[in-house]
């Protein structure tokens, strides 16, 4: 077939570009997973546990505040990933950041109820992103 060679070259270039995009996404997934494991999971746990045990002193309140602030920073990082411009990713992250800021405010006035409420809202934001991205990202590994 006359068109064979050029067509083959085009296919080759196309598949190289695809492999390249896939590699970038894999790198991002690895980075996202690290961000989850090293920042988001421990930071959110510190916020979530107050539903079981309210902070007892300034030091414990401060710990909750620092971790809520870490979630806000982590949200900024999530928005800078290649997924950052996608609507659900963006919306879930912004929701997580808004709720984490509510936790920060609650720690300033040591309001356990408000902090727990905002913590529940954070959890909903985690779920909102995972419902779309957790499996998708796992399947590109």
Stretch that binds ligand HEC, among 5-13, 55-63, 102-110, 130-138 (CB under 6 A): 130-138
- Report how far apart, in Å, the C-alpha atoms of 30 and of each of 26, 41, 42, 89, 91 are: 6, 15, 17, 16, 21
Among 10, 37, 62, 131, binds ligand HEC (CB under 6 A): 37
Stretch that binds ligand HEC, among 13-21, 60-68, 101-109, 127-135 (CB under 6 A): 127-135
Give min distance, CB of 60 to ligand HEC, in A: 20
Q: Is 89 in the site for ligand HEC (CB under 6 A)?
A: yes
Cα atoms in the Cβ-side hemisphere of radius 13 Å centred on 132: 13
State which residue, 11 or 41, has the beta carbon closest to ligand HEC: 41
Which residues inside 91-110 make contact with ligand HEC, applying CB under 6 A?
A: 92-93, 96
């Amino acid at each position: 077939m006359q068109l064979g060679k050029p067509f083959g070259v085009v296919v080759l270039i196309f598949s190289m570009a695809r492999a390249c995009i896939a590699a970038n996404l894999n790198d991002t997934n690895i980075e996202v997973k690290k961000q989850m494991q090293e920042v988001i999971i421990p930071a959110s746990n510190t916020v979530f546990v107050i539903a079981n045990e309210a902070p007892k002193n300034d030091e414990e309140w401060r710990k909750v505040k620092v971790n809520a602030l870490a979630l806000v920073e982590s949200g900024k990082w999530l928005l800078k990933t290649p997924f950052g411009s996608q609507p659900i990713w963006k919306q879930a992250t912004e929701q997580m950041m808004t709720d984490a800021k509510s936790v920060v405010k609650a720690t300033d006035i040591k309001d356990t109820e408000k902090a727990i409420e905002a913590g529940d809202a954070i959890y909903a934001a985690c779920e909102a992103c995972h419902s779309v991205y957790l499996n998708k990202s796992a399947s590109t590994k």
